[in-house]
Amino acid sequence: MSTSKIISGKTGEEKAKNFLLNLGYQILKTNYHSAYGEIDIIAQDEEELVFVEVKTRAKDPETAFSSVSRSKQRKLVKTAANFLARNPQYQESFTRFDVIAVINKTSEIIHLKDAFTP
């Protein structure tokens, strides 16, 4: 991956984090890693624990959402299970998986709640 794509991705994740904070979410963890992969943002939205995948694109939100393939979804679910196993205080929480597309060209942020279910 090129350095400019890494920088763009990190900038997008920061924008998504600030977007969620402005909506009243509590950010619990960013860039959570497990043997299965990474979750960009783990947040609390009232009673729900939210696992967020952030996709940064130059201009096309459709490619952002479609890039979260079934394979990627399985990795996110396994990584979320790993987080829950290591953080028992959240094991009884309702959970949801969201995808946020950050569009660089327009500075638009599109938040797809409940993007998929495990």
Three-state DSSP class for residue 83: helix
93 φ/ψ angles, rounded to the nearest 5 degrees: -75, 150
All structural domains of the chain with their residue ranges? 3-116
The class of domain 3-116 in CATH terms is alpha beta
Q: Cα separation of 66 and 70, whole Å?
A: 10
Q: Rounded to two decimals, what is the model's pTM?
A: 0.90
* The two three-digit tokens of residue 118, written as one number: 């495990």
Tokens of 2: 């090129």
For residue 5, give Cα distances in angstroms to 10, 12, 34, 103.
Answer: 9, 10, 22, 13
- pLDDT average, residue stretch 33-51: 97
CA nearest 99: which of 109, 111, 107?
A: 111
Q: What is the per-residue pLDDT across 57-112, written as a single tens digit (0 to 9) for each?
A: 877 777 788 899 999 999 999 999 999 999 999 999 999 999 999 998 888 999 99
Which tens digit of pLDDT belongs to each residue from 12-28?
Answer: 999 999 999 999 999 99
Rounded Cα gap, residues 77 and 48, in angstroms: 15
